[in-house]
């Protein structure tokens, strides 16, 4: 193990600790919340922070099932395209709400995962996600005398909300009732004006998702494509309708197959408890290792802190979203991370007991423990990969943390521990065999310093 | 001093059977209680500063048209309410009613709902992932022990038997807990089982790798003694690694909060079982397999003293 490796590991350790420190509390050395780039006068940055899952920061999660078979008249669009279109519409709706960092992903072809951090109103979330917002204007059926039959029919082609300019809420009348103002864009504006001529003094029906909202009488011939939707709106419901119309209609009916909501306070409580559990777990393992293995134990603990800092830094960099299960996986991995060290140390002890020198024992110990470490870690990574593939949400997070944990612990055990072990035997005072957990060699009881390679 | 790990294998198999049989019995009579994730339904996790009694809550929910609600008290003033699948409108209505009924003590709640169709998919996924993981592990071990030729697969299969042992111990325990205390299993539990599987294989591989190395160093030596001192040599490591993992799990169980308890418990039991099976079952299966093979080969005559290694 050469000097370059040692420096590389020191640099990694310093970087990891720097990434781990919350930047908003400690803006040193740069006044920038993460990794900053300066490219030709333009500066940009990637914010480094811990991404908490919904169960830790609070919010609402929905899993939506697409139902293309419920589209009236059927469809020729493929399920993948419908999925993409639906996600675009939901994304627009959510953007106008100002939810920070929403997650909108497809789960297979026929499902969509929607996560809304900070939204704790389940009803609101479901409305945003599943209301089709299909607006259609229908005209009255007339008998031969031109009198109203009380029913309505669609125009050909139907006059729908597909061609609207952005709508907005305004207040009308003596009681300031909220209404939604809409305006058709060309060519539907001409049809709207024509419609007002054809059906002057007659009602037209405004339908949303197949239900009548209102059927106002046309009082005069319109001069533009503009109109209003009245209904018994509150300001909030009027705003919601306006948002839905602006984002466009969903191309396919959706059903909520899974929903969950976590209150932010409960999430914070979980974070605090997990943190306490993690620190205590780490300290218990550290204490045990030092008591049992002495000097190598101290080295294992240094490696363990290196492991913890680096793993957490990688979580913040990738970023890996930490869920409750993920945090549990991380804490668990602290216990498992020492395994590679334990394997190596047990081997070193054996070699030392067969009266080999320290240096030879270290090398033999590493060489012989390596296949066990490699294949046992591969087995864990395999199961984690399967978890990642088949699992949903929570399970995926757990699997990802486990994979990162195993890879980092492998790196730590193979490089960092070895480096520290070899560094330690450079000091004569650290070469006493008793420090390594075995008896002094019978032939060199006089001088510990003579026990060298 | 050598502990007789291999010679007493039938005692160890018997002990495993003793642990597994009651659990399998309760599994068979449907003791394992699926959580709402796996059977569909709504779970409301209500928090009160001073919780009302379960019957009081049940009456309130019945009045709202949910007489099927199952109420369970939990620590810290929490009450868990399980109902059939509620729409979000119904969920909001229940919450508002509770808020109005207990204005001073009701704090907040978590709600989760899974529709029955989706839960069926989750169950299939869970089973498929366990089967798929097992197949891959057999292949990995067969590859790692490829110098044994076709016998490499018996190491893989022995590891899978040890793995099933550990999965059954945990599943059995939760079937018993489910039967007597209504403990439910959720996707976190499936995660725990898969982690146990990973850990069990991890442990078994370490022992097998030592057997491989020793067979290599002592060509021609009988298999049983090699297995015996291979287990002896890896014993300290097996126990210490389990101990460190159990230490972290203990911290998780005591300080990680209520929702982590079942998860931590499943893992502790599985990891202790994984250590047991890697020391007392996995290699013994290899030994048994070899003995049967020898007996078949020397039909009529006595098998050679202690089975021979095939390496």
Least CA distance to A292: which residue of chain B? B240
Residue A332 C-alpha, separation from nearest chain B C-alpha, in angstroms: 6
Kindly give, in sequence order, each residue whose CB lies less than 8 Å from that of residue B307, ignoring residues fewer than 6 positions away. Answer: B222, B223, B224, B287, B290, B291, B293, B294
- CATH, residue B106: 3.30.2130.10
Residues A355, A444: Cα–Cα separation, whole Å? 11
Reference A421, options A292, A309, A293; nearest CA is A293
CA-wise closest residue to B277 among B175, B194, B201, B173: B201
Supply the mean pLDDT for chain A.
82
- Check: complex ipTM more than 0.85: no
Q: Which domain holds residue B89?
A: 41-114
Instruction: Return d(Cα A304, Cα A124) in angstroms, integer.
Output: 46
At B9-40, the pLDDT tens digits run: 899 999 999 999 999 999 888 888 888 777 77
Taking a C-beta distance cutoff of 8 angstroms, is the pair A221, A200 a contact?
yes
Q: Comparing C-alpha atoms, which of A54, A56, A34 is closest to residue A43? A: A34
Longest dimension (CA), chain A: 125
Window 383-402 of A: residues touching B by CB (8 A cutoff) are: 383-384, 386-387, 389-392, 394-395, 398, 402
Is the C-alpha dihedral spanning A314, A316, A319, A321 positive or negative? positive
Question: Are β-strands A321-322 and A211-214 bridged in parallel, bridged antiparallel, or unpaired?
Answer: unpaired
Comparing C-alpha atoms, which of A198, A171, A167 is closest to residue A184?
Answer: A167
Which tokens in the block code for residue B253? 């169980």
Which among B210, B215, B212, B216 is positioned nearest to B232, based on CA atoms?
B210
Query: Using N-to-C axis directions, what is the helix angle for A264-293 and A324-353, rounded to 10°?
Result: 0
Distance from CA of A367 to the nearest CA of B (A): 12
A207-211, A261-265, B227-231, B299-303 — most confident range: B227-231
CB-CB under 8 Å, B255 with A255: no
Q: What is the 3-state secondary structure (H, E, C) of B277-288?
A: HHHHCHHHHHHH
Residues B60 and B191 in one domain: no
Predicted confidence at residue B168, as pLDDT, reads: 92
Q: Is the distance from CB of B28 to CB of B307 less than 8 angstroms?
A: no
For residues B123 and B195, membership in a common domain is answered with yes
**Is A448's pLDDT higher than 60?**
no
In a domain, B125, yes or no: yes
> How many Å apart are CA B59 and CA B47, to the nearest integer?
18
- From CA B71, how far away is CA B54, in angstroms rounded? 6
Q: Is residue B28 in some structural domain?
A: yes
DSSP-H helix ranges across A163-260: 188-198, 235-247
pLDDT band at B165 (very low <50, low <70, confident <90, very high): very high
Residue among A55, A420, A444, A33 at smallest CA distance from A260: A55
Residue-wise pLDDT for A5-25, tens only, equals 888 888 999 888 888 877 655
* Residue B226 belongs to some domain of the structure: yes
Helix %, strand %, coil % of chain B (to 5): 70, 10, 20
CB distance A342 to B241 below 8 Å: yes
Residue A45 pLDDT grade (very low, low, confident, very high; cuts 50, 70, 90): low
Closest CA to A202 of A193, A190, A215: A215
Chain B residue with Cα closest to A283: B248
**C-alpha to C-alpha distance for B97 and B91, rounded to whole angstroms:** 10
The structural architecture, per CATH, of the domain A3-20+264-450 is: Up-down Bundle (1.20)
Within this chain, do residues B65 and B108 fall inside the same structural domain, yes or no? yes
Tell me the sheet residues that pair with A214: A206
Residue A3 clears pLDDT 60, i.e. is over it: yes
Show residues of chain B in contact with A324, CB under 8 Å: 259-260
- The Cα–Cα gap between A318 and B200 comes to 29
Is A75 at the interface with chain B, CB within 8 A? Answer: no
Q: Using the beta-carbon criterion (under 8 Å), do A257 and B206 form an inter-chain contact? A: no
Alpha-carbon distance of A341 to A337, in angstroms, equals 8
CA distance linking residue B266 with residue B192, whole number of Å: 6
Topology adopted by domain A54-132+251-262: Alpha-Beta Plaits (3.30.70)
| Cβ atoms within 10 Å, residue B276 | 22
* Domain identity same for B125 and B140: yes
Quick check: is B65 in a domain? yes
Token pair listed for B224:
């049983």
Spans of all domains in chain A: 3-20+264-450, 54-132+251-262, 136-232
Residue A353 in contact with partner chain B when CB distance is under 8 A: no
CA distance A295 to B162: 35
- Judge residue B268's burial from the number of C-beta atoms within 10 Å of its C-beta, 0-12 exposed, 13-18 middle, 19 or more buried: buried
On whether residue B139 sits in a domain, the answer given is yes
Distance of residue B240 Cα from the nearest chain A Cα, in angstroms: 7
- Tell me the CA distances in angstroms from B308 to A149, B161, B231, B291, B302, one per residue in order: 97, 22, 18, 8, 13
Span A136-232: which CATH code? 3.30.1360.200
B81 in a structural domain: yes
| One domain for residues B108 and B231 | no
CATH of the domain at B211: 1.20.1640.10
Q: Which residue from B minimizes the CA distance to A281?
A: B248
Q: Exposure string (b/e) for A314-338, b if CB count within 10 Å is 16 or more?
A: bbbeeebbbbbbbbbbbbbbbbbbb
Among B89, B114, B139, which residue terminates a domain? B114
CA distance A401 to A419: 26
Closest residue in B to A270 (Cα) is B257
How high is the pLDDT of residue A61? 86
Q: Which residue out of A258, A272, A345 would a mutagenesis test of the B interface target, given it has the greatest number of B Cβ atoms within 10 Å? A: A258
Question: Would the CB atoms of A284 and B251 count as touching at under 8 Å?
Answer: yes
Phi and psi torsions of B264, nearest 5°: -65, -40
CB-based contact, A19 to chain B, within 8 Å: no
The minimum CA-CA distance between A121 and chain B, rounded to whole Å, is 8
Q: Within the 35-74 window of chain A, which residues sit less than 8 Å (CB to CB) from chain B?
A: 63, 65
CB-nearest partner of B89 from A123, A285, A386: A123
Tens digit of pLDDT for each residue in A274-325? 888 888 988 999 999 999 988 999 999 999 999 999 999 998 888 788 887 7
Same domain, B19 and B56: no
Put simply, the answer to whether A266 touches B88 (Cβ < 8 Å) is no
Contacts of B236 in chain A (CB under 8 A): 346
Give the pLDDT confidence of B44-53 residue by residue, as tens digits: 888 888 888 8
pLDDT (tens digit per residue) in B245-256: 899 899 988 888
Query: CA-to-CA distance for B277 and A83, rounded, in angstroms?
Result: 47
Cβ neighbours of residue B1 closer than 8 Å, sequence gap 6 or more: none
Indicate whether B187 belongs to any domain: yes
Beta pairing partners, A111: A65
Q: Are residues B187 and B45 in the same domain?
A: no
> Does B308 fall in a domain?
no
Count the domains in chain B: 2
Cα A5 to the center of its chain, rounded Å: 34
Tell me: the pLDDT tens digits for A356-403? 888 898 899 888 888 888 888 888 888 888 878 876 666 777 788 888
CA dihedral A15, A18, A19, A23 (to 10 degrees): -160
pLDDT band at B300 (very low <50, low <70, confident <90, very high): low
How many whole angstroms separate alpha carbon B306 and alpha carbon A451? 42
Cβ–Cβ gap B187/A125 under 8 Å: no
pLDDT top residue among A41 and A84: A84
Q: Are residues B162 and B54 in the same domain?
A: no
- Answer whether A414's CB lies under 8 Å from A372's CB: no
Residues B211 and B103 in one domain: no
Residues A339 and B271: their CA atoms lie apart, in Å, by 13
Which residues of chain A make contact with B263, given a CB cutoff of 8 A?
325, 328
Q: Same structural domain for residues B77 and B130?
A: no
* B105 CA: distance to closest CA in chain A (Å): 16
Q: Give residue A242's Cα distance to chain centre.
A: 29
- Portion 15-54 of B in contact with A at CB < 8 A: 47
**pLDDT for A213-251, tens place per residue?**
888 888 888 888 888 888 788 888 888 888 888 888 888
A222's enclosing H/E stretch is none
Residue B185 forms contact with A (CB below 8 Å): no
Q: How many helices (H) and strands (E) does chain B have?
A: 10, 6
**Domain shared by B79 and B139, yes or no:** no
The Cα A99–Cα A112 span in angstroms is 18
Structure tokens belonging to residue B42: 């709504």
DSSP state of A105: E
8 Å CB contact of B256 and A329:
no
Q: How many contacts (CB atoms, under 8 Å) link A and B?
A: 216
> Does B237 reach chain A within 8 Å, measured CB to CB?
yes
Buried b (16+ CB within 10 A) or exposed e, A204-220: bbbbbeeeebbeeebee
Indicate if B144 and B86 belong to the same structural domain.
no
B186: helix, coil or strand? Answer: coil
Decide if pLDDT at B268 tops 90.
yes
Residue that the structure tokens 């790692």 belong to: B144
Task: Give the model confidence (pLDDT) of A153-186 as tens digits.
Answer: 888 788 888 888 888 888 887 788 888 888 888 8
> What average pLDDT score do residues A27-56 get?
64
Are residues A395 and B254, on separate chains, in Cβ contact within 8 Å?
Answer: no
Task: Give the pair of three-digit tokens for residue A139.
Answer: 């005209």
Confidence of residue B311 (pLDDT cuts 50, 70, 90): very low
pLDDT per position as a tens digit, B73-125: 766 677 888 888 887 778 888 888 888 888 878 777 778 888 777 777 777 87
pLDDT band at A447 (very low <50, low <70, confident <90, very high): very low
Q: Which residue has the higher pLDDT, B182 or A448?
A: B182
Residue whose pair of structure tokens reads 């190598």 in the numeric block: A296
- What's the pLDDT score for residue A445? 43
């Amino acid at each position: 193990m050469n000097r370059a490796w040692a420096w590389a590991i020191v640099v990694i350790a310093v970087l990891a600790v720097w990434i781990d420190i919350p930047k908003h509390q400690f803006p040193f050395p740069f006044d920038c919340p993460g990794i900053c780039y300066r490219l030709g006068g333009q500066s940009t940055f990637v914010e480094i922070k811990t991404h908490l899952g919904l169960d830790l920061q609070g919010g609402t999660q929905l899993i939506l099932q697409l139902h293309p078979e419920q589209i009236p008249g059927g469809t020729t669009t493929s399920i993948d395209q419908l999925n993409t279109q639906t996600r675009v519409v939901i994304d627009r709706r959510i953007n106008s709400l100002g939810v920070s960092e929403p997650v909108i992903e497809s789960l297979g072809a026929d499902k969509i995962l929607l996560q809304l951090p900070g939204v704790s109103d389940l009803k609101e979330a479901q409305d945003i996600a599943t209301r089709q917002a299909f607006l259609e204007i229908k005209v009255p059926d007339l008998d031969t005398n031109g009198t109203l039959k009380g029913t309505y029919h669609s125009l050909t082609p139907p006059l729908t909300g597909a061609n609207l300019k952005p709508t907005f809420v305004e207040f009308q009348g003596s009681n300031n009732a909220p209404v939604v103002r809409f305006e058709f864009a060309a060519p539907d504006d001409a049809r709207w004006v024509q419609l007002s001529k054809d059906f002057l003094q007659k009602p037209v029906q405004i339908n949303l998702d197949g239900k009548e909202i209102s059927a106002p009488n046309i009082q005069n011939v319109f001069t533009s494509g503009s109109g209003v939707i009245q209904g018994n709106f509150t300001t909030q419901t009027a705003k919601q309708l306006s948002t839905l119309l602006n984002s466009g209609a969903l191309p396919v009916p959706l059903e909520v197959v899974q929903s969950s909501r976590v209150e932010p306070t409960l999430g914070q409580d979980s974070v605090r408890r997990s943190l306490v559990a993690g620190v205590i777990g780490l300290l218990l393992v550290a204490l045990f290792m030092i008591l049992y293995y002495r000097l190598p134990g101290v080295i294992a603990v240094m490696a363990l802190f290196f492991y913890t800092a680096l793993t957490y830094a990688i979580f913040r960099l990738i970023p890996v979203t930490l869920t409750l299960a993920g945090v549990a996986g991380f804490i668990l991995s602290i216990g498992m991370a020492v395994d590679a060290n334990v394997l190596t140390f047990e081997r070193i002890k054996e070699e030392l007991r067969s009266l080999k020198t320290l240096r030879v024992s270290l090398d033999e110990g590493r060489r012989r423990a390596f296949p066990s470490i490699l294949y046992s870690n591969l087995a864990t990574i395999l199961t984690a990969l399967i978890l990642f593939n088949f699992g949903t949400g929570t399970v995926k997070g757990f699997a990802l943390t486990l994979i990162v944990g195993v890879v980092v612990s492998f790196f730590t055990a193979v490089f960092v521990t070895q480096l520290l072990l070899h560094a330690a035997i450079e000091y004569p005072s650290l070469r006493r065999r008793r420090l390594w957990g075995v008896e002094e060699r019978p032939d060199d009881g006089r001088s510990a310093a003579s026990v060298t390679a | 001093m050598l502990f007789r790990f291999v010679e007493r294998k039938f005692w160890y198999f018997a002990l495993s059977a003793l642990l597994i049989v009651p659990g399998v019995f309760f599994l068979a009579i449907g003791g394992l209680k699926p959580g709402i994730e796996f059977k569909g339904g709504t779970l409301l996790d209500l928090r009160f500063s001073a919780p009302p009694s379960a019957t009081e809550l049940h009456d309130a929910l019945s009045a709202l048209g949910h007489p099927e609600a199952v109420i369970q008290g939990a620590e810290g003033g929490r009450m868990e309410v399980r109902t059939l699948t509620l729409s979000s409108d119904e969920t909001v209505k229940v919450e508002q009613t509770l808020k109005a009924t207990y204005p001073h003590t009701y704090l907040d709640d978590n709600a989760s709902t899974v529709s029955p169709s989706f839960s069926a998919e989750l169950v299939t996924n869970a089973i498929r992932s366990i089967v798929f993981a097992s197949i891959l592990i057999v292949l990995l071990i067969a590859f790692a022990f490829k110098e044994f030729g076709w016998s490499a697969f018996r190491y893989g299969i022995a590891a899978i038997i040890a793995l099933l042992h550990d999965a059954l111990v945990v599943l059995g325990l939760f079937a018993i807990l489910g039967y007597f205390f209504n403990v439910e299993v959720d996707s976190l539990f499936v995660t725990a089982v898969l982690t146990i599987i990973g850990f069990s294989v991890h442990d078994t591989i370490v022992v097998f790798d030592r057997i491989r190395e020793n067979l290599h160093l002592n060509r021609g030596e009988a298999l049983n003694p090699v297995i015996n001192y291979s287990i002896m040599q890896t014993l300290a490591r097996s126990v210490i690694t389990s101990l460190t993992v159990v230490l972290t799990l203990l911290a998780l169980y005591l300080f990680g909060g209520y929702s982590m308890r079942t998860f931590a418990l499943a893992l502790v039991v599985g990891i202790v079982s994984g250590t047991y099976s890697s020391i007392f079952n996995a290699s013994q299966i290899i030994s048994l397999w070899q003995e049967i093979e020898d007996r078949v080969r020397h039909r009529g005559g006595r098998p050679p003293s202690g089975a021979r290694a095939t390496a």
